Amino acid sequence: YDKNIVKEVSIIFNCLSTEDENKEEISYRAMSTLISLLMSGDDYVERHSCSAIANLMECSDIHLRFIEERGLPPLVSLCSSVDEGCRQEVMRALSNLSFNLDMVE
């Protein structure tokens, strides 16, 4: 695969995932792709993919799908990334994932 294309794809997912109207569709059509990008070995791609996942995790309806797609282990493994920006996005994703609307009064 072309590394430049993969970088562009990660950027596109990151940008698209900021809009609420895109989150459900991305989660249905591209969750497995995003999870595989978390394991790309490229700091840049991993950072943008973590950011996209953090954006998606702002929508609690998507949490279960992310867990079922086995996205948590690759996400947690990036806690030890050498890229500080990636680590920050992992923490944001985990924070968003841990938020449960059912617990809010």
What pLDDT is recorded for position 85?
95
Residue located via tokens 């086995």: 70
Q: How far apart are CA 87 and CA 46, in angstroms?
A: 10
Question: How far out from the chain centre does Cα 92 lie?
Answer: 10
Residue 98 has which token pair? 């841990």
Nearest to 93 by CA among 102, 62, 7: 62
- What's this model's pTM, rounded to 2 decimal places? 0.91
- Collapsed DSSP state (helix, strand, coil) of residue 93: helix
pLDDT in tens, 52-90: 999 999 999 999 999 999 999 999 999 999 999 999 999
Tell me the mean pLDDT in the region 16-33. Answer: 96
